[in-house]
Structure 1
Amino acid sequence: MKKVVKFGGSSLADAGQFKKVGDIIRADENRVFVVPSAPGKRNSKDTKVTDMLIGTYEAAKAGKDVKENLKAIKARYDEIITGLELKDFSLDEDFKEIAAQIKEDLSLDYLASRGEYLNGKIMAKYLGYDFIDAKDVIFFNEEGMLNSYKTEKTMAKALEEHPRAVIPGFYGCGKDGKVKTFSRGGSDVTGSIVAGAAKVDVYENWTDVSGFLICDPRIVKNPVGMQTITYRELRELSYMGAGVLHEDAIFPVRSAGIPINIKNTNRPEDDGTWIVESTAQRNEYVITGIAGKKGFCTVLITKSLMNSEVGFCRKALQAFEDNGISIEHMPSGIDTMTVVVHEDEFINKEQAVVSAIHRNCSPDSIEIESDLALIAVVGRGMKSTRGTAGRIFSALSHAHVNVRMIDQGSSELNIIIGVQNEDFEAAVKAIYDIFVLTKL
């Protein structure tokens, strides 16, 4: 059995956390490939190294001297190196190279990636593993998307040559040959890419929580955890804001059937959450998770006999596409269609969109409503359980929450509910209570 292990920033924030990680890796000889993030916060008042690097970029872009910025960042790494007692090892040359790069070719992607790069070098030294620069094995195409074919082929060859290796997360090589990063949280994606290329048995993703919780602990105190979740459920929950795992981390392992195990660095004995393609195991609860976001608005388009007009929906949606606005959901009726969009994307373009819809479709009316929050109730058990939707709406009614929108996919895996922004937390609590606390 072979495993890829990815460790988040909180797991590598200081030397003490590094030692925990080292103990975890050495406790299982099957943990052969390691993907580290940049050092996270050591305490609530601290700053993540990646944020320090981004701040350095912004200062350099503004023409400011960044010597003190780099000095503060280097101090974070030197503290780790000293704490790990890594003699005859330093990052002095690396920081000279970073300083030179800032003067020669200032790049946000390059600077932001150095957090993982430098942490990877320390981790490789500490473990006695080989170091593989992600820039040499992960590639993006001209559109900035992952070049899966080239990446998998190159990565697989490199991993064959290095039986135990550290590969920094978060970045790769752009089409122009320069460093390019994933979106924030992209180290999860790197770990998944490594797992898929190496065809390992398990991808362990270590963080500061013992797996997925049914809902946000900032809303519900001490929510229960999930033992097993499918890729499809994870995709729905991640998209709607559940932040334990980057949503794009699913795809490289899903095609290979590799399970993901979310584990807690500070409680390694906990089972965590298993993310699998499919399972016969039944959850203790009907639902698997609740997640949501605030800040949406709806565009209600009304036209008599809309259903008999060929191409009406396409022409309406063209107005959003032409203005660069992505669409979240689109519940519809016989003579109505509702388009749900992010309010911050839409607000400055709303009249342009309305005018375009009138030109394209000649609707009877268009109504816009804002301050909408969307909540996704997700669970593979919902399909085989009668009355799930009724329980949700009963719980919301008892909590005096008005439902403004309902959208259920044909898979019956999730139900999307729209409520006022101000009712978001109350709605999540009400749904959690009826499915978890009372187990109805």
Structure 2
Amino acid sequence: NAKVLKEVSYIEAMEMALFGAKYIHPRALEPLVTKKIPLRIKSTFNVKNPGTLVTATPQADAQKTVKCVSAIRHTALIDVRGGSMVGAPGTAATIFSTLAKAGVNIMMISQSPSESSISIIVKKIDLDKAVNALEMNLLGKIIKKVDVTVDVAIIALIGSGMRGIVGVASKVFAAVAKKRVNVVMIAQGSSELNLAFVVKDADCNTAVQALHDEFELAKIN
């Protein structure tokens, strides 16, 4: 029951593009943001449809708590662990730099409060070179163990209406729990524009549908 959104903000459009929407590159929106130039995205297969308006100030009726549920598949989870990581300045930077030198793009990260582990999501096609780079350069030094979970999916909820709203996360995780979907990893930025989490790829469609129903996205617009 996917629907065309009538209006979204620049930042919402960027978040959607980053989390799998292929209609526009996030960097292409930056000049529009600077000059506050509105953008209308339409389908070449249905030119009569008004499409989606991307603007700085969407109308009030477009400010739904969650506007979009998106999924990125064909990803893998790398868990990097080690007691030497605790309280050691620059550990994360060293790990990220090592992966960057190997040509691996990090899609999502999460660090435990104890600082003893860092979880990293990469594209599945980059998994082997990511693990090789970490093991060859850091294993036995700042890293003691590298664990891998293949075939995971990133699910993201996007919407500026989530800002400052109490209970959004609880609704999200209650909805997927009812469908017996286990959440492997969670990340949320301080902007509160998106909430992303990781599940097994086999559970991806079930989780997306559960959230679509929970936030009544079929009724949007």
TM-score interval, normalised by the smaller of the two chains? 0.7 to 0.9
Residue 385 of structure 1: CA displacement? Answer: 1.9
Q: Output the CA distance in 1 between the equivalents of 2:117 and 2:134.
A: 17
Match of 1:251 among 30, 46, 54: 30
Q: Output the CA distance in 2 between the equivalents of 1:437 and 1:343.
A: 30
Task: Quote the residue 2:209 is aligned against.
Answer: 429
Are residues 1:382 and 2:184 paired? no
Q: Kindly tell me: are residues 242 and 315 of structure 1, through their superposed partners in 2, closer, same or farther at Cα, counting changes over 3 Å? A: same
Task: Quote the residue 1:342 is aligned against.
Answer: 123
How do 1:85-124 residues align onto structure 2 when only pairs under 5 Å count?
A: none
Q: Output the CA distance in 2 between the equivalents of 1:410 and 1:366.
A: 28
RMSD between aligned residues: 2.2
Contact 2:7 2:59 in 1 (8 A): no
Q: Kindly tell me: are residues 313 and 292 of structure 1, through their superposed partners in 2, closer, same or farther at Cα, counting changes over 3 Å? A: same
Q: Output the CA distance in 2 between the equivalents of 1:384 and 1:398.
A: 25
Q: Kindly tell me: are residues 305 and 346 of structure 1, through their superposed partners in 2, closer, same or farther at Cα, counting changes over 3 Å? A: closer
Contact 2:78 2:119 in 1 (8 A): yes
Residue 267 of structure 1: CA displacement? Answer: 5.2
Task: Quote the residue 1:242 is aligned against.
Answer: 21
Partner-residue secondary structure (3-state), 1:391: helix
Are residues 1:231 and 2:14 paired? no
Match of 2:88 among 297, 305, 309: 309
Partner-residue secondary structure (3-state), 2:155: strand
Identity of counterpart residues, as a percentage? 25
Contact 2:85 2:142 in 1 (8 A): no
Structure 1 residue ranges without an equivalent (≥5): 1-220
Contact 1:328 1:342 in 2 (8 A): yes
Deviating 4+ runs (over 4 angstroms): none
Partner-residue secondary structure (3-state), 1:308: coil
Are residues 1:274 and 2:53 paired? yes
How do 1:188-267 residues align onto structure 2 when only pairs under 5 Å count?
A: 221=1, 223-264=2-43, 266=46
Q: Output the CA distance in 2 between the equivalents of 1:279 and 1:254.
A: 13
Whichever residue aligns with residue 203 of structure 2, its letter is D
Match of 1:362 among 142, 147, 151: 142
Higher strand share: 2
How do 1:130-145 residues align onto structure 2 when only pairs under 5 Å count?
A: none
Structure 2 residue ranges without an equivalent (≥5): none
Whichever residue aligns with residue 393 of structure 1, its letter is F
Whichever residue aligns with residue 53 of structure 2, its letter is W
Residue 310 of structure 1: CA displacement? Answer: 1.4
| CA deviation map 1:119-142 (0-9, x unaligned) | xxxxxxxxxxxxxxxxxxxxxxxx
| CA deviation map 1:288-335 (0-9, x unaligned) | 211121111122122236341111111222221221111111110122
Contact 2:3 2:218 in 1 (8 A): no
Higher helix share: 1
Contact 2:82 2:145 in 1 (8 A): yes
Q: Kindly tell me: are residues 245 and 351 of structure 1, through their superposed partners in 2, closer, same or farther at Cα, counting changes over 3 Å? A: closer
TM-score by length of 2: 0.88
Partner-residue secondary structure (3-state), 2:134: helix
Q: Output the CA distance in 1 between the equivalents of 2:133 and 2:89.
A: 24
Partner-residue secondary structure (3-state), 1:320: helix
Contact 2:164 2:192 in 1 (8 A): no
Contact 1:230 1:277 in 2 (8 A): yes
Partner-residue secondary structure (3-state), 2:93: helix
Partner-residue secondary structure (3-state), 1:401: coil
Task: Quote the residue 2:186 is aligned against.
Answer: 406
Match of 1:352 among 129, 133, 143: 133
Whichever residue aligns with residue 426 of structure 1, its letter is T
Contact 2:99 2:133 in 1 (8 A): no
Whichever residue aligns with residue 261 of structure 1, its letter is R
